[in-house]
Amino acid sequence: MIDADGSIYLNLQSDQVFISIGQKNKLLLDPLVPLYGGSIYMQKQTEAFKWVVYRKKEILALLEYFRHAPLRSAKKNRVFLISKYFLLKDLKAHLAAPNSILGKEWKLFLKNWESYSG
């Protein structure tokens, strides 16, 4: 479902990774909540539903699933970068001076992240 109807994105304002799937039929999304956590929201403007995960524990559970059932779209490239994101965030690279080693690593990470659409 994520390959076709999902997205993987990074919100730099909140420093969080989000994985979401949109569907018109909420029943298709309901099983995801007990399996992986997250929440389902109604999108009134499109009359559709959106399942969203953003907590680190939930994202890591999804990464484990993707190891057994890899994505086939370009979104797989962002999935590969999520572990690097958590590592850099734990090292506070996103707060580091731009010319420091960590700052340069963060800049490279963002460049790689943006080179793939999610």
CA distance 23 to 51: 8
> How much is the average pLDDT of 27-41?
94
pLDDT digits (tens, 9 = 90+) for 50-77: 999 999 999 998 999 888 988 888 888 9
- Residue 47, pLDDT score: 86
User: Does residue 2 have a pLDDT over 80?
Assistant: no
The radius of gyration computed from the CA coordinates of the chain, to the nearest angstrom, equals: 15
For the chain, what is the mean pLDDT?
91
What share of the chain in percent tops pLDDT 70? Answer: 95
DSSP three-state, residue 6: strand
Q: Write the class of the CATH domain 2-114.
A: alpha beta
- Residue 29, pLDDT score: 95
Reported as half-sphere exposure (CB side, CA atoms, 13 A), residue 102 has a value of: 12
- The domain segmentation of the chain, as residue ranges, is 2-114
- Residue 10, pLDDT score: 94
